A and B are shown apart, each in its own frame.
Chain A
Amino acid sequence: MRRSLTALAPQLITLAALVALVSVFFPGFVEIRLIDGRMVGPIIDILKRGAPVALLAIGMTLVIATRGIDLSVGTVMAICGAVAAWSIDKGLGLGGAVALAIAAGLVAGLWNGTLVAIIGIQPIVATLILMTAGRGIAQLITEGRILTFTHDGFSWFGSGTFLTVPVPAVIWVVTGITVALLMRRTALGLLVESIGINRRASALAGINATVLLIAVYMASGLCAALAGIITAADIRGADANNAGLWLELDAILAVVIGGNSLLGGRFSVAASLLGAMIIQTIDTGILLAGFPSEYNLVIKAALVLVILVLQSPRMAAEWTTWRAARREPKPAGRVQEDAQ
C-alpha cells in the first residue's frame, strides 16, 4: 500500500498544488455543502464533470499498456450516445437503451481489436479509421439532427445522485476500482503488461495475446459507452457532431500525466484517474479563478506543458541522480574501496 502511494506521489503532489493554486484565486474552492440531499461544491463538480475523461482514461490505460492507442473513444461515445437516444426514442426503455449502448461500445472495441490483433494494423491507424468514420455512423443514427429525449430514468445517469454523490462520479469511481482490482487481483495485469512489452515473446510463452488484445480494446469501447451514456443523459440528447469531441486526446493526456509510458508495459489505473482529475481541475479551476474563458486553452496548454516537462523521462533521470547524489555523498570513493 505504501509502495503504491509513493508511486502516485508526483500526481498527488501535482493535484494538491493545483488545488492550492486555484484556492488562491477562488477561496471557496474546497468547500462542500449538502443541499437537498446532494453534495455541492467545486470539488464535487470536478468529480462529476471529469467523469467522461476519467472513464475513457481507464480504458485508454489498458490499451496504452499493450503498446497501443485508441483514438476512436470520443467517436464511440458519440455513437453510443446516439444509440441510447435512438433506443429511448423508439420506446425500448431504460434497460434497452443502456444495453444497446453498451453493446455498441463493445462492437466498436471488437472492431478496433480485430484490426489491431488479427489483421495486424498499427493501433494508431486502426483506431483512426473508426475515429474518422464513426461520427458519420453516429450522424447516420441521429439522421444528422440532435436527437433529444425525455426519460427521467435515463437522465439519472447524467444528473442524478446516489447517496448524495453525483451518479457520474460514482460510475467512474466504481468502474476504476473494479478494473484496478480485476487487473491486480487476477493475473490480467501481468499478462497485459507482458504483451505490451513483448508481444511475440509473450505469445511464445503461451499467452493468448490475440484474445487479450481484443479484450482490451473492447474494455476501452465499454468505458467509452459508459462515458457516452453519461454525456447523453446529462444533456438529455445525442449530439453526433460534438459528443466526446477531442476527449480521446484528453484521455491520452490523462494517462500520460498519470506517468504511464506511451510505449506500453507497466501501468497504473489509479494514476491515470488522478491524471484525469488533474485535467478537470485545470479546466474548472481556470473558470472559477475568474479568467476570461478565451484564456482557457492557453492556460491549460501551459499548465500541461509544465506538468509534462516535470514528468518527462529526462527530468526524471536528473531528479534520480540528484537524489542519489544527496543520499550517497561519496559513491566514487566507496566503489574504489570495494575494488581493491
Chain B
Amino acid sequence: MLLSIRSLTKRFPGTLALDDVRFDLKAGEVHALLGENGAGKSTLIKCLTGAYRPDGGDITLDGEKISPRSTSEAQELGIGTVYQEVNLLPNLTVAQNLCFGREPRRMGMIQTRAMTRQADAMLEAYGLDIDVTRDLGLYSVAIQQIVAIARAVALSGKVLILDEPTASLDAREVEMLFEVVRGLREKGLGIVFVSHFLDQVFELSDRVTVLRNGRHVVTEDIAELDRVKLIEHMLGHALETEVDDHATPHDDSAPKRPEMLKFRQMGRAGVVHPFDLDVRQGEVVGLAGLLGSGRTESAEFLFGLRSGGTATDTDGDVPLDTPRKAIAAGFGFAPEDRKTDGIVADLSVRENIALALQAARGWARPIPRAEQARLADMYIERLDIRTSDAEKRVGELSGGNQQKVVLARWLAMNPRFLILDEPTRGIDVGAHAEILRLIHELTAEGMALLVISSELDELIAVSDRVIVVRDRRHVAELTGSDIRTDTIVHAIAHRDDIGEVA
C-alpha cells in the first residue's frame, strides 16, 4: 500500500468534519474520492496536503508515518496536488512555473536557456509541444492543468491528488487530460481523483471511496458498482429522482405554446454568427455545444451584455443594449461562473437575493428591511437554501447553495425569460436534482428558460428544444423525439447537419 490513512479525525467549531476516516491508495491506481459537498472530501485532502492538521489518526506513506505541516512539506514527502483553479502563476512563463524553486543557476543567476531546456524535457513526456518561454496565462486551461500536473509529478512523484481538475474543461480537453493521467498510472503513481462528474469517475478510476457527513461509507472496485448504487452511497438513501424521472415527454405532438419573444440577427461576426431565436411561454430551450463553441456568448447577446441584433415581443421592440434594459424587459441571467459573476460574496443572503430587485427599483426607493427579510426567508424555504440564517455572508455557503441564491435573486424579479448558464456545474448530486425540479416548476408557471449545459443527459431531460452550437454558429435545432444523445453528439461533431437554422 502506497498511502494509507487510518482513523483520521478533524474537528471544526460546531462540526466534526472527519470522523474516523480510512482511505487506502495503491501505487498504479486511480482512486476516486466521492461525496456530496460537505462530505469531507476537501478536508481529507487538506489534511493530506498539510493545509490542515488532523486532530487524530495516522497517515502512512510508503510505510512511514507522516504529518505534513505545509503544502511544501507534503510536496517534499511526495504528495502533489492539482486543483480546479490552476494554482500556477499566469504572469510567469511556462518554464518559470515548471522550474519554480529549482531553477538551474550559476553564481546565483538563473540560467534561462538551461531552464527552457529543462521545461521542454518535462513536458515532452506529456506529449505537449508548446513554447515554454511564453506566459502560462496565454494558454488554455487544459494546457495549464497539464503543466500543473507536470510540476506536481516532478516535485512529488508518489501521490498525485487531482481535485476537480476537469470542471472547466470541454470534452476534448478532458480526454487529453485523462490520457496524461493514465500514463502516470502506468508509471506507478498513486492518483486520487475528486470529481462531480460520475461519467468521468467510471471512465478513469479503478476504485472508489465514498464519504458522507465526514464518515467513510464504502470503498469498492469500480467494476462492482453501477451508477445508481454509487449515487445511493453518496446520498445515503435510494435516489428517488434521478435525472431521467424529470424527463419531459419528447413526443412530436406536444401542443404549441403561445409565442413570447422573437430574437433576430443576434450576434456579431467573430463572436457568434448572427442567429434567430423564437421563445415560447413556458418553454425550455437547451443550448448544447462544447466549451468555447459560442454558447455563453449567445446568452450574453440575449441578455444585452454584448450588443447586436433585435428583439421583439407581442407589444413591439424590446431594447436590449445593456443588462439593465434586458432586466427591465423581464429577463434574468444566472451566469456560469458564480463566484466572479454571480454572488456578491461579502453581502448577506438577504441582500444578495434582494439585489436585482433593488437595482430595478432604483436607489431612491429602498426595499424595506422587513420586505427583504420576507423575500429571503421565502426563497430560503422554497429553494431549500442551506444557511443558518438570511444574514449569513453568501461567500460562506457551499457552491450549490450559492447557485440557489443567484436563482432566488432572479426569481424574486419574476422574470418571463431566464437564462441559466451551466446551472448545475460543480454542485453536488442532491442540489443538482433540486435545480432540475425547480426548472420544471418554473416552466409550469409560464416562465421561459434558456439552459446551457455540458451535461447532455441533463439537457435532454429538461429541454423542449435543443439548439446545437458549433464553431460560433448555431448549427442545428432538435425538437420532439429528435432530442437524443446521439443526435446532439452527431450535430456537435459533424458538418452535415440534421436541420440547419439560420
Known: A191-B359, A200-B340, A202-B344. A208 touches B13 (CB 8 A): no
Q: Is A203 an interface residue (CB 8 A)?
A: yes
Proximity string of chain B (303-323) to chain A, C-beta cutoff 8 Å, 1 when within and 0 when not: 001000000000000000001
Proximity string of chain A (176-215) to chain B, C-beta cutoff 8 Å, 1 when within and 0 when not: 0000000001111011011001101111111110000000
| Contact yes or no, A186 B358, CB < 8 A | no
Q: Is B367 an interface residue (CB 8 A)?
A: yes
- Nearest CB of chain A from residue B318's CB, rounded to whole Å: 15
Bound: A143/B111 CA distance, A: 56
CB proximity to A under 8 Å, residues B321-364:
323-324, 327, 333, 335, 340-347, 351, 355-356, 358-364
| Contact yes or no, A265 B323, CB < 8 A | no
Q: Is A35 an interface residue (CB 8 A)?
A: no
Bound: A208/B363 CA distance, A: 10
Q: Please tell me which one of the listed residues A194, A206, A336 contacts residue B16 in the complex, with CB atoms under 8 A apart.
A: A336
Q: Is B173 an interface residue (CB 8 A)?
A: no
Q: Please tell me which one of the listed residues A208, A265, A335 contacts residue B15 in the complex, with CB atoms under 8 A apart.
A: A335
Q: Is A135 an interface residue (CB 8 A)?
A: no
| Contact yes or no, B13 A205, CB < 8 A | no
Contacts of A185 in B (CB 8 A): 366
Instruction: Specify the chain A residue showing the minimal Cβ separation from B335.
Output: A204
| Contact yes or no, A186 B363, CB < 8 A | yes
Bound: A60/B355 CA distance, A: 24
Bound: A324/B13 CA distance, A: 11
Contacts of B206 in A (CB 8 A): none
Known: A187-B363, A206-B356. A197 touches B346 (CB 8 A): yes
Q: Is A13 an interface residue (CB 8 A)?
A: no
Q: Is B19 an interface residue (CB 8 A)?
A: yes
| Contact yes or no, A201 B16, CB < 8 A | no
CB proximity to B under 8 Å, residues A320-340:
324, 331-332, 335-336, 338-339
Q: Please tell me which one of the listed residues A186, A193, A324, A331 contacts residue B347 in the complex, with CB atoms under 8 A apart.
A: A193
Bound: A194/B342 CA distance, A: 12
Proximity string of chain B (207-221) to chain A, C-beta cutoff 8 Å, 1 when within and 0 when not: 000000000000000
Q: Is A48 an interface residue (CB 8 A)?
A: no
Bound: A277/B215 CA distance, A: 55
Bound: A201/B305 CA distance, A: 12
Q: Is A266 an interface residue (CB 8 A)?
A: yes
- Nearest CB of chain B from residue A331's CB, rounded to whole Å: 6
- Nearest CB of chain A from residue B388's CB, rounded to whole Å: 15
Known: A194-B355, A202-B355. A331 touches B13 (CB 8 A): yes
Bound: A202/B340 CA distance, A: 10
Known: A204-B335, A206-B356, A207-B355. A335 touches B346 (CB 8 A): no
Contacts of A207 in B (CB 8 A): 355, 359
Identify whether the interface residues of B are mostly helix, strand, loop, or mixed: mixed
Contacts of A206 in B (CB 8 A): 323-324, 327, 356, 359-360
Known: A204-B333, A206-B323, A335-B15. A198 touches B345 (CB 8 A): yes
Bound: A203/B15 CA distance, A: 36
Q: Is B108 an interface residue (CB 8 A)?
A: no
Contacts of B367 in A (CB 8 A): 187
- Nearest CB of chain A from residue B297's CB, rounded to whole Å: 15
Bound: A338/B12 CA distance, A: 12
Bound: A208/B361 CA distance, A: 12
Known: A332-B11, A335-B14. A197 touches B345 (CB 8 A): yes
| Contact yes or no, B347 A197, CB < 8 A | yes
Contacts of B342 in A (CB 8 A): 201, 204
Instruction: Specify the chain B residue showing the minimal Cβ separation from A187.
Output: B366
Contacts of A191 in B (CB 8 A): 358-359, 363
Known: A197-B344, A198-B340, A201-B341. A186 touches B355 (CB 8 A): no
Known: A187-B365, A187-B367, A198-B344. A335 touches B359 (CB 8 A): no
| Contact yes or no, A335 B363, CB < 8 A | no
Task: Select the residue from A185, A186, A205, A336 with max chain B CB neighbours within 10 A.
Answer: A205
| Contact yes or no, A335 B13, CB < 8 A | yes
- Nearest CB of chain B from residue A209's CB, rounded to whole Å: 10
- Nearest CB of chain B from residue A261's CB, rounded to whole Å: 9
Bound: A201/B410 CA distance, A: 13
Bound: A17/B343 CA distance, A: 40
- Nearest CB of chain A from residue B92's CB, rounded to whole Å: 21
Contacts of A187 in B (CB 8 A): 358, 361-367
- Nearest CB of chain A from residue B432's CB, rounded to whole Å: 22
Contacts of A190 in B (CB 8 A): 347, 351, 355, 358, 366
CB proximity to B under 8 Å, residues A260-307:
265-266
Q: Is B409 an interface residue (CB 8 A)?
A: yes
| Contact yes or no, A205 B347, CB < 8 A | no
Instruction: Specify the chain B residue showing the minimal Cβ separation from A263.
Output: B346
Contacts of A208 in B (CB 8 A): 324, 359
Contacts of B19 in A (CB 8 A): 339
Contacts of A203 in B (CB 8 A): 323
Bound: A332/B12 CA distance, A: 8
- Nearest CB of chain B from residue A288's CB, rounded to whole Å: 41
- Nearest CB of chain A from residue B311's CB, rounded to whole Å: 17
Known: A190-B351, A197-B347. A205 touches B359 (CB 8 A): yes
Q: Please tell me which one of the listed residues A188, A198, A204, A338 contacts residue B323 in the complex, with CB atoms under 8 A apart.
A: A204
CB proximity to B under 8 Å, residues A99-147:
none
Bound: A105/B345 CA distance, A: 33
Bound: A194/B357 CA distance, A: 13
Instruction: Specify the chain B residue showing the minimal Cβ separation from A265.
Output: B346
Proximity string of chain B (8-44) to chain A, C-beta cutoff 8 Å, 1 when within and 0 when not: 0001011110010000000000000000000000000
| Contact yes or no, B341 A194, CB < 8 A | no
Bound: A75/B355 CA distance, A: 36
- Nearest CB of chain B from residue A193's CB, rounded to whole Å: 7
Known: A206-B323, A331-B13, A335-B15. A188 touches B363 (CB 8 A): yes
- Nearest CB of chain A from residue B174's CB, rounded to whole Å: 27
| Contact yes or no, A205 B363, CB < 8 A | no
- Nearest CB of chain A from residue B338's CB, rounded to whole Å: 9
Contacts of B346 in A (CB 8 A): 193, 197, 265-266
| Contact yes or no, A205 B14, CB < 8 A | no
| Contact yes or no, B358 A339, CB < 8 A | no
Bound: A331/B327 CA distance, A: 47
Contacts of B11 in A (CB 8 A): 332, 335-336
Contacts of A194 in B (CB 8 A): 344, 347, 351, 355
Bound: A266/B358 CA distance, A: 17
- Nearest CB of chain B from residue A332's CB, rounded to whole Å: 7
- Nearest CB of chain B from residue A115's CB, rounded to whole Å: 21
Bound: A74/B417 CA distance, A: 49
Contacts of A204 in B (CB 8 A): 305, 323, 333, 335, 341-342
Proximity string of chain B (362-392) to chain A, C-beta cutoff 8 Å, 1 when within and 0 when not: 1111110000000000000000000000000
Contacts of B14 in A (CB 8 A): 335, 338
Bound: A335/B10 CA distance, A: 12
Q: Please tell me which one of the listed residues A186, A200, A266, A332 contacts residue B341 in the complex, with CB atoms under 8 A apart.
A: A200
Not counting A190-B358, A191-B363, A201-B341, a sample of 12 additional A-B residue pairs whose C-beta atoms are within 8 angstroms of each other reads A194-B347, A194-B355, A197-B347, A198-B343, A201-B340, A204-B305, A204-B335, A205-B356, A206-B324, A206-B356, A332-B11, A339-B19
11 A–B pairs (Cβ distance < 8 Å), ordered by A: A186-B365, A187-B362, A190-B355, A191-B359, A194-B347, A197-B347, A198-B343, A201-B341, A206-B356, A207-B359, A336-B11
B residues in contact (CB < 8 Å) with A = 11, 13-16, 19, 305, 323-324, 327, 333, 335, 340-347, 351, 355-356, 358-367, 409
The 4 closest A-B pairs by CB, nearest first: A206-B359, A187-B366, A206-B327, A339-B16
